[in-house]
């Protein structure tokens, strides 16, 4: 999982202890359609609440990361996101606060959904992107921001070794989580994705 921290330091190849061929550096992403009045799978739904087990803004502890937060908490988060999806465009003139359609709009902001995504789900998941911002802010909160593409069955990912590989949408969660970490002693075989 990619964590954003203003005090973060540079990461070098020496810091990728799981191996550069086992660590995702960048993933493919559909851009937002910039239309908060229309539901698109790349939209990010603001839940306007925290979800149990995922902590809150600024939490870098184990309860905000997978698999440490537990599958039950993660399933609750995904179901909450899916349930909020249809209602995210029924808020009058301020739909943009609930249905954020600006995914990837700028690369200069080191912030979820503007620049950063995470590896909580395999590419092109059946769940919408969503974040947990009770204050109705931008994308500066924990959430699910998945890789996506227009390719059927998956998306391309650039690995830390410079290779680009296709990740299937059917890839299991433990494999996606392992590929998203750099120093958790994860070793993944390429036939697993």
Residue bearing the bigger pLDDT, 26 or 53: 26
Quick: pLDDT tens for 139-176: 777 788 999 999 999 999 999 999 999 999 999 999 99
Please give the pLDDT value at position 101.
83
- Maximum distance among all Cα pairs of the chain, rounded to whole angstroms: 51
The candidate with the shortest Cα–Cα distance to 82, out of 138, 36, 125, 118, is 125
**pLDDT score of 121 more than 90:** yes
Strands (E), 104-153: 129-131, 143-144
23 vs 137 pLDDT, higher one: 23
Closest by CA position to 113, among listed 85, 135, 142: 142
CA 82 to chain centroid = 15
**Rounded Cα distance, 43 and 104, in Å:** 10
Relative to beta strand 164-168, strand 44-46 is unpaired
pLDDT at residue 35 tops 90: no
Burial of 112 from C-beta contacts in 10 A (0-12 / 13-18 / 19+): buried
Which pLDDT band holds residue 127 (cuts at 50, 70, 90)?
Answer: very high
Q: Which residues pair with 155 in a beta bridge?
A: 167
Q: Cα(105)–Cα(114) distance, rounded to whole angstroms?
A: 6
Q: Is 45 helix (H, G, I), strand (E, B) or coil?
A: strand
Rounded Cα distance between 91 and 100, Å, is 12
């Amino acid at each position: 999982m990619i964590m954003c921290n203003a005090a973060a330091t540079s990461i070098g190849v020496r810091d990728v202890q799981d191996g550069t061929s086992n660590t995702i550096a960048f993933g493919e992403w559909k851009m937002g359609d910039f239309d908060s009045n229309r539901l698109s799978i790349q939209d990010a739904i603001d839940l306007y609440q925290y979800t149990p087990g995922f902590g809150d803004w600024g939490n870098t502890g184990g309860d905000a990361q997978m698999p440490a937060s537990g599958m039950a908490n993660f399933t609750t988060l995904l179901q909450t996101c899916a349930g909020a999806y249809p209602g995210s465009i029924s808020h009058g003139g301020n739909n943009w606060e609930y249905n954020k359609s600006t995914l990837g709009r700028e690369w200069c902001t080191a912030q979820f959904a503007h620049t950063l995504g995470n590896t909580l789900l395999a590419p092109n998941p059946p769940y919408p992107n969503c974040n947990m911002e009770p204050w109705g802010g931008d994308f500066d909160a924990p959430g699910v921001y998945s890789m996506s593409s227009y390719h059927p069955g998956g998306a391309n990912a650039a690995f830390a070794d410079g290779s680009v590989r296709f990740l299937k949408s059917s890839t299991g969660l433990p494999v996606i989580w392992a590929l998203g970490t750099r120093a958790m002693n994860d070793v993944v075989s390429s036939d697993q994705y």
